[in-house]
């Protein structure tokens, strides 16, 4: 039976099917009101893991979530990411893992999310211009100071994960991964062996799974949508996988959340497993 919950870092329990907030509109007006409604509906549906980042609107996404959900329910985890910045609104985003910059981004995240501690803080990308020990050392210092609870990584290789774990405890990894794109299967395998949460981004292939005949056939047998099949496969594929599908529409959110109740049979999983052989 597929477990519905997971303890990140061994102690922080969340429901495995989360929500990615990246697509929520933050500009003033009707679109923003819709974004607030979608975030609130996610919590109403029992979602306890919401993913955001400093990069999403330069902090505007964090502010939107705080406006929608603060004071937060006791069981809600909002995880954010740092390590990508831009000097000013007209500049391009760039990797920035300098310790001083990471510390400032964390402080901004604390203010925007209206919390004293970020329970899971992920390094959005490793900055090749800054020694990894300096990047993770800065986050470790912030953890030791009580500003963050646990440290995660995003878009890393197996070797980078191993190097990081030699420096500090790693609680999560957020890599691109889905039913039809399993490039990072070795990273998932490493996470499973170590009990590290694996948060796949782009988990539903942005509709591509709906064009696949095998997925359509499985969906029909399960009386589910192709998107729900893609999410149900992720939940069944590994106990450390915590999908974070994102949307700005309430109907899509509700469709995604209902995937937790879809139960592919072993025969269905065998069909789906064959769709994309690991790289």
Calculate Rg over the CA atoms of the chain.
18
Check whether 167 has a pLDDT greater than 80.
yes
- Count the Cβ atoms, other than its own, within 10 Å of residue 110: 19
Mean pLDDT of 11-35: 97
What is the tens place of the pLDDT at every residue in 75-124?
Answer: 999 999 999 999 887 789 999 999 999 999 999 999 999 999 999 999 99
The strand order across the sheet containing 77-82 reads 19-20, 49-51, 77-82, 118-123, 148-154, 172-174, 197-198
Q: Of 19, 56, 177, 233, which one is the catalytic site residue?
A: 56
Q: What are phi and psi of 179, to 5 degrees?
A: -55, -35
- Count the Cβ atoms, other than its own, within 10 Å of residue 200: 27
List the one residue out of 156, 258, 247 whose CA is nearest residue 199: 156
Please say if 177 is a catalytic residue: no
Tell me what pLDDT residue 209 has: 57
Residues 6 or more apart in contact with residue 64 via CB below 8 angstroms:
21, 24, 26, 32, 35, 36, 39, 57
Ordered by where they begin, the domains of the chain are 5-203+239-247 (3.20.20.100)
Check whether 208 has a pLDDT greater than 70.
no
């Amino acid at each position: 039976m597929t477990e519905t919950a997971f303890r990140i870092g061994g102690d922080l329990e969340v429901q495995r099917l989360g929500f990615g907030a990246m697509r929520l509109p933050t500009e003033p007006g009707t679109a923003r009101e819709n974004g607030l409604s979608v975030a609130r509906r996610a919590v109403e549906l029992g979602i306890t893991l919401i993913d955001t980042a400093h990069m999403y609107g330069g902090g505007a996404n964090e502010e939107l979530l705080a406006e929608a959900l603060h004071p937060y329910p006791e069981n809600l985890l909002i995880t954010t990411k740092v390590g990508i910045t831009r000097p000013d609104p007209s500049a391009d985003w760039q990797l920035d893992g300098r310790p001083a910059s990471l510390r400032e981004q964390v402080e901004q995240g604390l203010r925007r999310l209206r919390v004293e501690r970020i329970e899971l803080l992920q390094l959005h990308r490793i900055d090749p211009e800054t020694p990894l020990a300096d990047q993770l050392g800065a986050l470790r210092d912030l953890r030791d100071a009580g500003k963050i609870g646990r440290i995660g990584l995003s878009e890393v290789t197996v070797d980078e994960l191993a190097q990081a774990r030699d420096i500090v405890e790693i609680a999560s990894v957020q890599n691109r991964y889905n039913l039809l794109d399993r490039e990072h299967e070795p990273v998932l395998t490493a996470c499973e062996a170590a009990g590290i949460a694996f948060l796949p981004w782009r988990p539903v292939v942005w509709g591509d799974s709906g064009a696949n005949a095998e997925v359509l056939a499985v969906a029909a047998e399960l009386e589910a949508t192709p998107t729900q099949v893609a999410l149900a496969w992720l939940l069944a594929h590994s106990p450390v996988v915590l999908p974070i599908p994102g949307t700005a529409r309430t109907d899509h959110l509700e469709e995604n959340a209902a995937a937790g109740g879809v139960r592919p049979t072993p025969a269905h999983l065998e069909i789906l497993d064959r769709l994309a052989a690991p790289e």
